[in-house]
Chain A
Amino acid sequence: MIRWILIAVLSIGIAGTAFWGYQEHQEKNAVLIQAENTYQRAFHELTYHVDLLNDKIGSALAMNSEQRLSPQLVEIWRITSEALSDVSQLPLGLLPFNKTEEFLSEIGDFTYRTAVRNLESEPLSDEETKSLENLYKQSGDIKDELRQVQHVALDNNLRWMDVQLAMANEDEQLDNTIIDGLKTIEKTVEGFSEGNGDSSISNTTVKEHEYKYLNGEKISEDEALAKAQKLFNVKNRDKLNISTSGKGADVPLYSISYRNDKKSAYMDLSQKGGHPITLLVDRPVGKKQISLNAGMEKAKKYLEQFNFENMTVFQSNQFDNIGAYSFLYSKDGVRYYSDAMEVKVALDNGDVLGLTANDYFMNHSEREAPEPEISEEEAKKMVNPNVEIQEQFLAVIDNDLGEEVLTYEFLGTLGNETYRIFINAKDGREERVEKLSGSEINYASAT
């Protein structure tokens, strides 16, 4: 009898302990993931901020006016402090990372000093410009190293918790890529004594005009289906699914989708006027057969079919076997940055795989042709004299306040970098300076 009671008590005890242990284990895992996520966030943010820092310093080099340069220096100072706070969140207590921190505070000091000064009466001296150039070069090197470490870390699914463990057991000589990579960065620095996450198009437009000028009558579901049938090239209309958008939509839409075993397609049509807002076709894309240039002709033809007039190609990019093209509305020699659309073409047979005209329909209207008040020559004088101007356009962009302003757009080079500079065509104000990139070392092939 006593034996049985004992066995029962003991087994309940064991079951209880197992349950408790399991819960502890779950909790520990949850905490570990939480900590890991914090580290991951700090690390990825650090690389992004250093990248951004490099970009902003690069842009500052091509700036000319104090009204533009002062806020830019403040911006750099702000990003520096964010990068510093990222560094401090990393589990690097056991790793010497102080040189990088020193470098960051050096940038911070420099930009703070120059930003609070009245640059109008006391512009940057030659020496200061030189040290800015130096900082640009150094931040570029650090950025490359960090991006490399980040690539390895992402590729191999490295965990910061492992790094911490590896550093805690120092006698074990682990081949730890993160540690090695960070040590390299530290050496790179030793040798020396926000958000930019926009494609350059949307970067120049901030104001949303709320589809004010969307024209046409409201179309019925039937008409929408007919349009989709034609665009998707589907014989049987029963295979199309249609739904209407809910209360949260910026503009009422019909969403039409189609799917067979080879491809799927999706489209948003505005209920008013039946304009195509978004279109995406997904299918496997074969080997590249046609050139980026031939794809562009296909994209142009495609836009003509919708009666989009006066659209000019703004940029084109090849990503593997897909061509991506941006178009801007252009009238009377003026490019309107807010009226943009993108087309995606499969470079195996030239089919159009996507169209997005959201920005275009949100902003487009028939505007009166604006007249510049200063001459091109006068505007050129407002550009940093070190920038060699290569190409110029007239462009309407949204300024910092979200108003549409007419500008002279200059594309110029300084050293090996290319810049896009907007000078207000009314008062010569330097509205915007952007450093253009668009390609990067292929980390996957660099060994």
Chain B
Amino acid sequence: MTNKKLPVSLLIMSFLFIGFHIAQPPKTVHAFSSQVIQQGAVGDDVIELQARLQYIGFYNGKIDGVFGWGTYWALRNFQYEFGLEIDGLAGATTKQKLTQATEYNEQYVKNQINQGKDFTHYGGTEGTGGTNQSGGNNTGNTESNTAVNVPQGYSQNDIQLMANAVYGEARGEPYVGQVAVAAVILNRVESSTFPNTVSGVIFEPRAFTAVADGQIWLTPNETAKEAVLDAINGWDPSGNAQYYFNPDTATSAWIWSRPQIKKIGKHIFCK
């Protein structure tokens, strides 16, 4: 049975392929999606890029799905060796060259990553495609990315802690107001009259009411996190403020003596 069917299906398949080749312009890349991949990108295309670069020995870091410096240098070296323009971008030509020179077993690579293996020798070992069945049941809907981008000098935990503070202090405020509160925390870290770390500023006694009454431990929403990220990335709608207060509830007369910058939502920001 199978012996008879095989040639027929092969024939059909080869026709399909021929049709495919004629229909597509020669520059098409079959494997990657059509995007130009550049430094800072995350996702499946980056995993494929890292795996393929590792396959031919240019990349020896972890396959983590984040296009960081290691991937960048590997790509540039690849472009240099293959006589391409050295720009550190995976565009159509580069991707095509890379696809021709390497093989990529997506299922195998992702299984390895999802099983939490330190996965750094793709291509070196023979791909024993997915025979490992001891892995946990977490392969279903987890993301394959094992790393994320963070702003230089910050950990996800720092961002989380700041998001807690921002949410506790300003959850009812407009978005800019939340970014401004996050910016004030960072301005204080910069200033010599306040502690030099984010946690130092946040937990400084009598600095934030949300810390004093425990509201800081409410679970922050995504908006608060995004606001923190914006502030870390350089946005400061507070106008370089170091203090802010709510004029309806402020009890200290001293705070009114600070030079005011502006009012966002319910908060007045000042120097």
Interface, chain A (partner B; CB < 8 A): 33-34, 37-38, 40-41, 44-45, 47-49, 51, 55, 147, 150-151, 154, 157, 194-203, 243, 245-250, 253, 255, 257, 259, 264, 266, 268, 278, 280, 282, 290-294, 296, 315-319, 322-324, 326, 340, 342, 344, 354, 356, 358-359, 390, 413, 416, 418, 436-447
Contact = CB atoms under 8 A, between A and B. Distances in A.
Interface in B225-271: 226, 229-230, 232-237, 239-241, 258-264, 269-271
A428 to B, nearest CB: 26
Nearest to A29: B214
B161 A154 contact: yes
B28 interface: no
Contact of B148 (A51, A268, A440): A440
Contacts of B35: 290-294
Chain A: interface secondary structure?
A: mixed
Contacts of A243: 262-263
Contact of A344 (B146, B223, B230, B236): B230
Given A199-B233, A291-B41, A316-B40, 20 more contacts: A49-B197, A150-B157, A196-B153, A197-B186, A198-B152, A246-B260, A248-B241, A248-B270, A268-B239, A280-B237, A292-B35, A315-B39, A318-B42, A319-B229, A324-B229, A438-B68, A439-B64, A439-B147, A441-B146, A445-B142
Give 10 closest A-B pairs by Cβ, nearest first.
A248-B259, A291-B35, A41-B203, A44-B199, A282-B175, A418-B69, A246-B260, A293-B36, A266-B176, A317-B40
A157 B156 CA distance: 16
B261 A154 contact: no
B262 A440 contact: no
A293 B88 CA distance: 12
Given A248-B271, A354-B235, A154 B160 contact: yes
A309 B104 CA distance: 42
Interface in B187-207: 189-190, 196-200, 202-205
A250 B189 contact: no
Interface string B157-169: 1101100100000
Contacts of A293: 35-38, 41, 89
A440 B150 contact: yes
Contacts of A390: 73, 76
Interface residues of B, number: 86
Interface in B166-182: 174-176, 179
Interface of B: 35-43, 60-61, 64, 66, 68-70, 73, 76, 89, 116, 136, 138, 142-143, 145-158, 160-161, 164, 174-176, 179, 186, 189-190, 196-200, 202-205, 211-214, 217, 219, 223, 226, 229-230, 232-237, 239-241, 258-264, 269-271
Contacts of A442: 143, 145-148, 156
Contacts of A196: 153
Contacts of A323: 40
A200 B152 contact: yes
A33 B73 contact: no
Nearest to B232: A199
Contacts of B239: 245, 248-250, 253, 268
A197 B149 contact: no
Nearest to A259: B174
Q: Which of the listed residues B136, B138, B155, B226 has the most CB atoms from chain A within 10 Å of its own CB? A: B155
Contacts of A203: 152-153
A323 B269 CA distance: 29
A305 B136 CA distance: 52
Contacts of A200: 152-153
17 contacts: A33-B214, A44-B199, A48-B197, A55-B153, A194-B196, A199-B151, A246-B260, A248-B260, A249-B239, A266-B174, A266-B264, A317-B149, A318-B43, A319-B229, A324-B229, A356-B236, A358-B234
A275 to B, nearest CB: 14
B146 A445 contact: yes
> Which interface residue of A157, A243, A293, A326 has the most chain B CB atoms within 10 A?
A293
Nearest to B211: A37
A39 to B, nearest CB: 9
B198 A33 contact: no
Contacts of B217: 157
A51 B230 contact: no
Contacts of A356: 234-236
